[in-house]
Amino acid sequence: MTYMLDFHPDRFGHCCFVSDGNLKRLKESKIPIELCLTSNLLSNSVAELKDHHFGLHYKPSSEGGRDSTICCISTDDSGVFGSSLSKEYKLVMQTFGLTEMEVFNLAKRTLEATFLAPAATSETKERKGLDQDQDQEEWNSISAAYDDFYASWNWN
């Protein structure tokens, strides 16, 4: 990983076994990493979800999250591992105690780290200057729309 950090790739996958020195360099580099909790559990990279290395890489903004790695929650291969992105976010919330707002911000950072053309992410990047109250308003709006949809859907 040391040499890979030297040429600064666009992102890393999994990052299950990273030395302390490389973890420090990874956080400083701001290179995003893809983390796939279910895949890592089923492939025995971790014995239990509570031991998943997400906890080494991520810190919520309330705990000085600026020095955390840019984490992108992913599914790896949903056909093989039988997990959806929603399930992966649910596992992150349940296992590491993240709030809905923290997961919302985690998902926003993931969008910013995608391989999409700059125009596709420009609105999100422009929002970086928004304060937490504005983020909370956006979250409330999204949450209300979801609640309306959920209440109106025919679940039979």
**Amino acid 35: pLDDT:** 86
Cβ proximity of 12 and 35 under 8 Å: no
Which segments of the chain does DSSP mark as H helices, in order?
A: 2-6, 20-29, 37-42, 54-57, 78-81, 85-96, 100-112, 118-126, 132-152
- pLDDT band for position 154 (cuts 50, 70, 90): low
**Amino acid 50: pLDDT:** 92
- Does 121 have pLDDT greater than 70? no
pLDDT (average), residues 87-116? 84
When comparing pLDDT for 154 and 59, which is higher? 59
- The per-residue pLDDT for range 27-52, each reduced to its tens digit, is 888 888 888 888 888 888 889 989 88
- Does 120 have pLDDT greater than 50? no
In the structure encoding, which two tokens stand for residue 5, read together? 């950090």
pLDDT-above-90 percentage for the chain: 6
- Does 80 have pLDDT greater than 50? yes
- pLDDT band for position 53 (cuts 50, 70, 90): confident
In the structure encoding, which two tokens stand for residue 149, read together? 């949809």
